[in-house]
Amino acid sequence: MGMLIDGRWESDDVSSTAKDGSWRRAPSSFRNWLQTSDADDSQFPAAPSRYHLYAAWNCPWAHRALLVRNAKGLTPHIAVSFAKPARSEQGWIFASDGEFRDRLFGVHALHELYTRADPGFTGRVTVPVLWDTETDKIVSNESADIVRMFNDAFARWTPGAVDLYPESHRREIEQWNERIHRTVNNGVYRAGFATSQAAYDEAVSALFETLELIERTLQQSRYLCGDDITEADWRLFPTLARFDVAYHSAFKCNLKRITDFPALWKYARQLYHWPGVKDTVRFDVYRAGYHSKSEKRNPHGIVPIGPQIAWNAA
């Protein structure tokens, strides 16, 4: 995967696997926050057309930012640049023109953006990235923070948009977020990148225990927190969209498919049919990306033809 070390790109892979064979996700490095006030000392005040989002179609963490940008009506106010849907020795890269170009600076690799913000940066280079065009700095590369900022920082420009983090559901949302992140969003990677049977068994067991819990919950309610859609639903959806076409086979999460959970499958299609959501989903990219050539997971790079999932079913 490579990383930046003191501002220099090192393409050699740095293992994220612990001695027990379990996989660890590196923490995000930029954790600034958008300010909703107009105070003179606000480094990153919320303002339309000031901030730019960097994303990639195949990244589920970037996907959640795209979903909330859409749900909150922010598409006219926050532009997006998409990296190519496959990483290279330079990490996430851009084309010179077309869909996958950097619309701000025309850089070739995302790590150039990181060193533009911090010339001596050391760490992983990930999407999503929320960039401030006025200070020439990265606000955040933590998807959970970007989702939360998108929900409330631009409220004055998006009147009537649904509140995805309402006071009445905050405790419940945080409980779902913690469990889903640990056992589902991250759980599929812990299963797919495990290098010991014990680590794989632990990850897969926790994953399907949570999916069963979600199934029981959705048998009683429309969304995770009752009748109100919240950020917890949109944080879950990227994993659901990728599950049957990618994680089930490529990451060996094959005890069941999402289509085998009646309530969960109905719920997933409900989210998929929300206005604008289909435009954030690229099943062809997921299938090809997660089955790309890998010495450990897929040495021949053969992309399976199926399964074909009826997401457009009512």
Relative to beta strand 79-82, strand 51-55 is: parallel
Relative to beta strand 129-132, strand 79-82 is: unpaired
Tokens 């790079």 label which residue?
301
Tokens of 242: 């990728």
Residue 257 phi/psi, 5-degree rounding, is -100, 165
Q: Identify whether 189 is a catalytic site residue.
A: yes
On the CB side of 161, CA atoms within 13 Å amount to 22
b/e map 69-105, b = 16+ CB within 10 Å: bbbbbbeebbeebbbbbebeebbbbbeeeeebbbeee
- Active-site choice (59, 114, 200, 247): 59
- Active-site choice (51, 54, 114, 189): 189
Sign of CA dihedral 155, 160, 164, 170: positive
90 and 2 Cβ atoms separated by less than 8 Å: yes
Tokens of 141: 């590369």
**How far apart, in whole angstroms, are the C-alpha atoms of residue 51 and residue 80?**
9
SS3 128: coil
Catalytic residues: 59, 189
